[in-house]
A and B are shown apart, each in its own frame.
Chain A
Amino acid sequence: MTGIDLRDISHAFGNTQVLDRVSLSVRPGELVCLLGPSGCGKTTLLRLAAGLEELQEGVISIGGRSVAHGGKGPGLPPERRGVGLMFQDFALFPHLNVRENIGFGTDTRDPARQAWIDAALLQMGLADTAGMYPHTLSGGQQQRVALLRALAPAPSVLLLDEPFSGLDVGRRAQVRADTLRLVKNSGVATLMVTHDPEEAMFMADRIHIMNAGRIVQGGSPTELYFEPADAFVTEFFGPVNRFHGAVSGGAVETPLGRFTVSGFADDTPVDVLIRVEGLRVAGYADAPEGEPDDNAGRQPASVTLEVETARPLGRSSYVVFKLAGGGRAIGRIPGMFLPATGERLEIAVNPRQAHVFSHHT
């Protein structure tokens, strides 16, 4: 039995189509991320799932039961769907203290739920704040209160709308780990919306990438990172070097070497996207390890390039190379690697980090 199932959801505001035949499902205990740039319709999908927006097209079922059917009225009202929703702005009730906020959706006479709340307060380090009001809490505390409030009624589905975007960067890693643990322990089917690929990869069992109202690709974090379906998905996971070329003899020539391609006829114009972390310096000891084997049917490329500048980033270094044709290529080399300007280095590109797509003008 599925936790939540969304089938062929389409939605428009006036003349703007925000969702276009979106389908996805989340099983109990699973965490699925909806990843996409802002304004791509992710939040609308959550609001439809919660019943806060009237469904126009498609079917939504929760726990195997249809709760909304497009064009057939508003469907089951939100209060009867058993869905926990956490908002980006947390939407804590300012007139209630922490304990009252969390208990808002629970029956005060139900000892089991009240005991759960007390245990959760303790576990999330909120026990001391139980009597405090939301505006006196830090962002991280507010986030945890909002999360517990959504989980307190023991929903079968949890919807998280950009749950970490309100937090400062230093806090995020810890809050993210706490949230993941709590959600996984509760066994709820979780659908999370975010625009941050790193966050999505950290949290999700499966990721669906959305663009302009459509799901462009779905899969595990590793699949999406190494086998992106198009240039949009590729670039969404991080900066790339982009080259334009034409297929010739089953390969394409770029300033960073020659890459074999399959499935393209000769003379097809293509775009080659090479992740900045795909550039490796031959003979440099600190090369990344543990990545899937390079030579899985693809030929490694190697070129010699002149260094223009190199800047440290801490855990890695940002190196700009001059290209023969006048352009530049960027590499992110692990560790503190700062070659002098003008130095010539042999660069090999990990073919799994080079992605070839037919060129769209």
Chain B
Amino acid sequence: MTVGTLTEWRTAVRFGLPNVWTLGALVAALFVALPIVAVVLLALGGDDGMWRHLTSTVLGLYIERTLVLMSGVGIGTFVIGTTTAWLVTMYRFPGRRIFEWALLLPLAVPSYILAFVVTDQLEYAGNVQTWLRAVFGWSRPQDYWFFEIRSMGGAITVMTLVLYPYVYLLARAAFLEQSVCVLEISRTLGNTAVKSFFRVALPLARPAIVVGVMLVLMETINDFGTVEFFAVQTFTAGIYDVWLNMSSISGAAQLSSVLLLIVLALIVTERWARQGRRFHHTSSKYSELPSYRLNRGWGWAATVFCALPVLLGFVLPAAVLAAYSARYFRATLSVDYAGFVINSLTLSAAAAAMALVLGVFLAYAVRLSKGRVVRIAARFASIGYAVPGAILAVGVLWPMGIADRIAVGAAEAFGFGIGAIFIGTIAPVIYGYLVRFLALSLGTAEASLGKVTPNMDGAARTLGMSPLRTLARLHFPLMRGSLATAAILVFVDCMKELPLTMILRPFNFDTLATFVYQYASDERLEASALGALTIVAAGVVPVLLLSVTIAKSRPGSSTGIGTTNPVAPT
């Protein structure tokens, strides 16, 4: 424990109990940490021989598959994200203005939905192969070779296409922030534009790009739908398998604990990279970035390079789903579409409201307390975004079970019997959402609270405002917009969330995401097309919000990638 925290504790002891902020922040941190701690405890506690079985059979495979997937997606998103960011930031070519925001669109598509659409198009009975057979007169599978989309390569491609916007977003922000002077100096020192990119711009943007890639990797290991559908045996698929098919919760917890180590490495790398960012602004002089006009050939090459990810990652799935929705509208009506929508809305709205309240509370706690305890607690409360949904699912049930037992015990003490009031309801799902997405609301609340400088508070107070009126007349008007954004971000992420919902939902309770997943993985994409399209449409909302933020963020003004992640984890 550091000196700072010790002093704070001593102060707390001297003045009685820690104040409501410190106490609240600690409770919130504990609340979020509980599922993660539970996983480790479960892993250490139960020994049903599963671990030995796992290590001797599939563990090596899980590790290998997970690492291959991570490497593939990491490299793919790095190349696409960084290159497109550099192109739209530095060059003028046909369509640049559109690509600036359109490149973010694939973020709206959950990877499992893209996986379904791509499979639907590329499998033997799909449009592409049917067309090829018609053109070349083939009639049997033996007549020609066609790649298998349901493979590791397919998973890497699909995830790269929907996750590269993280890298694009952060790399672009970093390029925009760079003082144009350093690039011009590089040119005067004899480097070509391309050479300047590799020698100056890329090294300067490296910390931001690392953060982007780390977010991508967190999403990659969180993914459940794609790997399960493509039969790629990663950790996440394994946890699900061991838990639900082999009925070994301790085995699932043990796998989760190993995966947590990878997550920890990602978090540490991300934090380290974020800290590195601080040292990078040496020049305070910014001028409008010059944009070099590309000649016709290179210009169109740039257009194609930027268009491909947008077309494959967003336009294709959206168009296919829209076409299916229109054509199979009747099939859609045969399922309880409205019911799924209501379920999704209920869960997401509840989680968003709670995440907002908790996020704002923690943001104020951090601001009001000078000590370190609260700041550490708040940081801790926001690590959930890095923890895969499958792990959280394992961890959430345990504290919920305890809560149930306490509730039942209390009820009995008062003379009446009740059943479980948490497990089997939507409470565990909302708890899981809250843990996973609290970082979004906390980050947004902190960023917007940061716009209200302490001196503004001081000015309002010396101008005769009580703390409460300062809140009403200064903080609320300034934060209103950002808080709405935070609520939307959490809301949409909950709509898209699959692994957590899949495992924790009550029996016979389906959200849009779980319904789409079950139907589509059963090759009934048509009936679920409208559901999938709804999820994509919801996902477009935060993308639009982000692109507005980007359009506003000009060099010199700091927006977006401060201490937290404005990007919605898929």
Contacts and interface: CB of A to CB of B under 8 A. Distances in A.
Interface of A: 14, 47, 50-52, 77-81, 83-85, 87-89, 91, 93-95, 104-105, 149-150, 153, 155
Contacts of A149: 459, 463
B455 A94 contact: no
B280 interface: no
Given A14-B7, A94-B451, A77 B466 contact: yes
A52 B463 contact: no
Contact of B458 (A85, A94, A104, A105): A85
Contacts of A84: 462-463
A83 B461 CA distance: 10
B469 to A, nearest CB: 8
A87 B463 contact: no
Contacts of A79: 461-466
A77 B478 contact: no
B297 interface: no
Contact of A95 (B459, B460, B464, B477): B477
Nearest to B456: A91
B341 interface: no
A91 B461 contact: no
B462 A78 contact: yes
Which of B462, B464, B466, B477 has most chain A Cβ within 10 Å? B462
Given A50-B462, A52-B461, A153-B464, 4 more contacts: A50-B458, A51-B461, A150-B462, A150-B463
Consensus secondary structure, chain A interface: loop
B11 to A, nearest CB: 11
A14 B370 CA distance: 11
Interface of B: 7, 451, 453, 455-456, 458-466, 473-474, 477-478
What is the predominant secondary structure among interface residues of chain B facing chain A? Answer: helix
B453 A104 contact: no
A94 B474 CA distance: 9
Contact of B464 (A47, A93, A94, A105): A105
B456, B463, B465, B477, most chain A CB atoms within 10 A? B463
Given A93-B474, A94-B451, A95-B478, A87 B458 contact: yes
Nearest first, the 10 closest Cβ-Cβ pairs linking A and B are A105-B463, A91-B455, A78-B461, A85-B462, A87-B455, A91-B459, A91-B456, A79-B464, A52-B458, A105-B464
Contact of A89 (B7, B453, B461, B464): B453
B399 to A, nearest CB: 38
A292 B474 CA distance: 54
21 contacts: A52-B462, A79-B461, A79-B462, A79-B463, A84-B462, A85-B458, A85-B462, A87-B459, A89-B453, A91-B455, A93-B456, A93-B478, A94-B451, A95-B477, A95-B478, A104-B463, A105-B463, A105-B464, A150-B462, A150-B463, A155-B462
B476 to A, nearest CB: 10
A84 B459 CA distance: 8
A52 B473 CA distance: 18
A175 B271 CA distance: 45
A47 B474 CA distance: 20
B40 to A, nearest CB: 36
A87 B460 CA distance: 12
Contacts of B462: 50-52, 78-79, 81, 83-85, 105, 150, 155
Contacts of A89: 453, 455
Nearest to B7: A14
Contacts of B7: 14
B366 to A, nearest CB: 19
Contacts of A47: 458
A85 B458 CA distance: 8
Nearest to B4: A14
Q: Which of A51, A78, A87, A149 is most buried by chain B, counting CB atoms within 10 A of its CB?
A: A78
A51 B466 CA distance: 12
Contacts of B459: 85, 87, 91, 93, 149-150
Contact of A78 (B453, B458, B474): B458
Most buried by B among A14, A50, A84, A91: A91
A153 B477 CA distance: 22
A18 B78 CA distance: 49
A151 B422 CA distance: 58
A104 B473 CA distance: 9
A91 B478 contact: no
A105 B466 CA distance: 11
Contacts of A104: 460, 463, 473
Contacts of B461: 50-52, 77-79
Contact of A153 (B456, B463, B478): B463
A94 B462 CA distance: 17
A153 B453 CA distance: 22
A88 B427 CA distance: 50
Given A51-B461, A78-B458, A91 B453 contact: yes
Contacts of B463: 79, 84, 104-105, 149-150, 153
B463 to A, nearest CB: 3
Contacts of A83: 462
A87 B462 CA distance: 11
A150 B462 CA distance: 8
B555 to A, nearest CB: 15
Nearest to A84: B462
Nearest to B462: A85
B478 to A, nearest CB: 6
A173 B461 CA distance: 30
Which of A47, A87, A153 has the most C-beta atoms of chain B within 10 angstroms of its own C-beta? A87
Nearest to A91: B455
B406 to A, nearest CB: 40
Nearest to A107: B464
A318 B189 CA distance: 37
A140 to B, nearest CB: 19
A75 B478 CA distance: 29
A81 B462 CA distance: 8
Nearest to B474: A93
A13 to B, nearest CB: 9
A87 B454 CA distance: 11
A96 B388 CA distance: 43
A189 to B, nearest CB: 15
A88 to B, nearest CB: 8
Nearest to A95: B477
Contacts of A78: 458, 461-462
B303 to A, nearest CB: 36
A93 B477 CA distance: 10
Nearest to A82: B464
A51 B462 CA distance: 8
Contacts of A94: 451, 478
A95 B474 CA distance: 8
A73 to B, nearest CB: 12
A353 B463 CA distance: 45
A206 to B, nearest CB: 23
Contacts of A153: 463-464
Contacts of A105: 462-465
A105 B459 CA distance: 9
A91 B458 contact: yes
A87 to B, nearest CB: 4
